[in-house]
Amino acid sequence: MPAPDVPAAEVPAAEVPAPEVSVVVSSYERPESLARLLEALAGQSLGADRFEVIVVDNGSGPATAAALDRIAARSPLRLNRIRHERTLGPAGGRNSGWRAARAPLIAFTDDDCRPLPGWLAGLLRAHAAGPRPGELTIVQGRTDPDPADLARLRRTLWARVVSVQAADGRYETCNILYPRTLLQRLGGFDDSLLPRGLRAAPVGEDTDLGWRARALGARAVFAADALVHHEVVDLGPWGKLAHTTRWAGAVHLFRLHPAAREILFRRLFWNVWHYMLLRALLSLAGPRWLSRLLLTRYLRAMRGRAAECGAGTWAVPYLVLEDLLECVALAGASLQERTAVL
């Protein structure tokens, strides 16, 4: 008598080959962007049987669940879904994802990203060629602003633009790969890095993880061919100004990890623009020839910055205001955390 067919749900998990890499995405209230991400993952050059995708619905509304239902019904992806009734923040969502993963390597990206077809294959090649033992090699992939978004916007003056062109110590989870054993040793992301005091939003949990990994001897290699396109969001003039204050929460990281000051310009300034602004302001107390020289250099550089954003000289006062607000937020957080970042 022929053996009865075994329903798919009853096939033992051991018969399903373990994936080589697990892609973990924590998603919150971006159903359309999430759908684009999963479509991009379905187009990876790496065979669909070699990786799994774990999506953590991190307390989103019903639109995200509906989008996942539609995708799961037709996608070739090995898709695992985890649902949180309330958001646990970026750290908590990612922790749920990687802990449910079956692969020895965990690739993180975000729901506002579109990995190019060679993304996963590029991460795996770079990890295999890494200079450290497998569990101590992190791979940071390249992230560019989405060209489609840049073509749509007249200017990026008021836009949130993400670009990662080197393994520079920030360890952004829009495009990074960790060995699972390393995540286990670290205990994953620190979900206690939540807003407090002057902090406007959770920030820096990915950078904190990377620096804790470095303390164990891990190092990051850069994979330029593991490319992700990151969504460019036009925040508008007021939204962009409000967005600058969120980086105050990052000051806490430099108290936890003093060596991370290598990220900062001259180990003190958030970026070169803050340095140039404060230098120009301080020059006003010096000789007239010096203040005239430094102010001229500063304004010339700011005109160039405005032009790179697709704007004219009229945008210079806006950029100065943006930098001032950011400096004030960082200075306030520096007082709170008793560590200087400007």
Least Cα distance to 325 among 262, 250, 248 occurs for: 248
Section 117-131 average pLDDT? 95
Q: What is the 3-state secondary structure (H, E, C) of 188-240?
A: CCCCCCCCCCCCCCCCCHHHHHHHHHHHCCCEEEEEEEEEEEECCEECHHHHH
**DSSP secondary structure, 141-182, as one string:** EEEEE-HHHHHH-S--TTEE---B-S--S---TTEEEEEHHH
What is the Cα Rg of the chain in Å? 22
Between 113-122, 131-140, 175-184, 310-319, the lowest mean confidence (pLDDT) is in 131-140
Tokens of residue 29, six digits: 């209230």
Structure tokens at 284: 């006003």
pLDDT of residue 17: 81
Is the model's pLDDT at 160 over the cut of 80? Answer: yes
Tens of pLDDT, residues 167-195:
999 999 999 999 999 999 999 999 887 54
pLDDT above 80 for 2: no
Model pTM? 0.91
